[in-house]
Structure 1
């Protein structure tokens, strides 16, 4: 899926449409790009946007369940990171620092909504089911219907989880982050993340018991 951001300042949006005038560093680490960006090299930050834009969008989509909102949330995260880049001190990786910004924005968005989980079904099944749960063989029409029902239930059940449980579950099972990475992003202990994950799985199993 193509992700297009709007109204990014200082030419940042060009990173999404052009590969010209990139930072001259060859395969630089994120932290090297950050150091260059902090010195005023806007092309270095554009490279960071290019590097992380798709993952950022997919994380935002897992929270928002809406394509346009996901684009806006991921764009807002990059804008906030750009505005606060001077404050990045390297105590954590840029990866952790940036995605913490994104996750916090997503949680703020969910709090603002204050509405029941959406009953809309998005056709992008892979965002709602773990890869191991997706069928690997052709399905009959009845199986397609059942898969759609399960996917819909998973999406609704996931949105009904408490914010911390939902965050931990999305980052672990949809984005493949480690317990340590999730703990750093959520600024909590690894043991606490494991508790959130366990409770999320138990709640989802209970809601999906009819399909067991």
Structure 2
């Protein structure tokens, strides 16, 4: 659902107010850029995706009737441009600039003075492990994880963006979560072995992920909770998944649109609006 500020700007934008269109796009540019960076994994591609997405939104804003949220609409557009970029970049070099490199270049990472140097280093190592884990996912799993666990869309909204069923979203999401958790858990000091001796334990990681999506019954949930109380290994495994997903939720806001990219996109947008006034 749209918030009141989006509603107000959208109505003015539909009426042809260029300033409202620009303000509306500025409100949503960071999420589009984050998505482009993590899907395309290249700063120049992410910049192109952002610019193309915002220009497409500007072209179509008068016809947008609000059947979905503005965020869902934007992610749908951005995803189509990401797919085009992936196809064109088939033979691109493997070496890519990381998100950390981009953020440092823009001077946007500030050290927490309350943390010791060792804590700062450990935190960066975990962040890097998370970034690498997300990057290593196949695109069909990466986009689901990014939209659901990083950007916070609901499963139905993710399904709308991707054009697949809600069940397909959840199936891909569970697999993506477990894959990322397996890579990040060692950095959290937790073993990735979630199976107890003699194979007597249920698949608690998948069950916990399904529980987060409200896919298991109250009885199964209660049974799982009883098992976790008695099994340290499974409890540790679920804890590592909780902590991994918490990291996913906090990684989004740290990625900002570089000033140079904002300026470039703003020029392109204003030129477009002037030509179509």
Same-fold call, TM cutoff 0.5: yes
| TM-score, with length taken from structure 2 | 0.53
> Distance in 1 between the 2:182 and 2:11 partners?
48
Do residues 169 (structure 1) and 145 (structure 2) align?
A: yes
Deviations 1:64-109 (A, max 9, x none): 3444433332111011112233442332233321221112222332
Distance in 1 (CA, whole Å) between partners of 2:83 and 2:17 is: 31
In structure 2, the CA distance between the partners of 1:118 and 1:204, relative to structure 1 (3 Å rule), is: farther
User: Which secondary structure state, in structure 2, belongs to the residue aligned with residue 123 of structure 1?
Assistant: helix
Q: Counterpart of 1:159?
A: 135
Tell me: CA distance 1:138–1:190, structure 2 relative to 1, closer, same or farther (3 Å): same
Residues 49, 78 of structure 1: 8 Å contact kept: yes
Is 1:138 aligned to 2:115, yes or no? Answer: yes
Instruction: Write the distance in 2 (CA, Å) between the matches of 1:125 and 1:81.
Output: 26
- The superposition leaves residues 103-161 of structure 1 with CA deviations (integer Å, 9 ceiling, x where unpaired) of 222233233323576464443799xxxxxxxx9x72453x5544444433332331221
Q: Find 2:88's aligned residue among 93, 112, 131.
A: 112
Higher relative contact order (CA closer than 8 Å, sequence separation 6+): 2
Do the aligned partners of residues 121 and 50 (structure 1) sit closer, same or farther apart at CA in structure 2, a change above 3 Å counting? closer
Does residue 159 of structure 2 align to residue 188 of structure 1? no
Aligned counterparts of 1:85 and 1:152: Cα–Cα separation in 2: 37
> What root-mean-square deviation, in Å, do the aligned CA atoms of Structure 1 and Structure 2 show?
3.2
**Are 2:92 and 1:123 equivalent residues in the alignment?**
no
Work out the number of aligned pairs and report it: 177
Greater Cα radius of gyration, structure 1 or 2: 2
Q: Which TM-score applies when normalising by structure 1?
A: 0.66
Q: 1:151 to 1:120 in 2, by over 3 A?
A: farther
Report matched runs for 1:1-212 at 5 Å: 29-114=5-90, 115=92, 118=95, 120-123=97-100, 138-141=115-118, 144-208=120-184, 210-211=186-187, 212=190
State the shift of 1:169 in Å.
Answer: 0.7
* Residues 1:119 and 1:125: Cα distance change in structure 2 (over 3 Å): closer
Alpha-carbon distance between aligned partners in 2 of 1:210 and 1:152, rounded to the nearest angstrom = 13
- Distance, in Å, in 2 between the alignment partners of 1:52 and 1:32 is 15
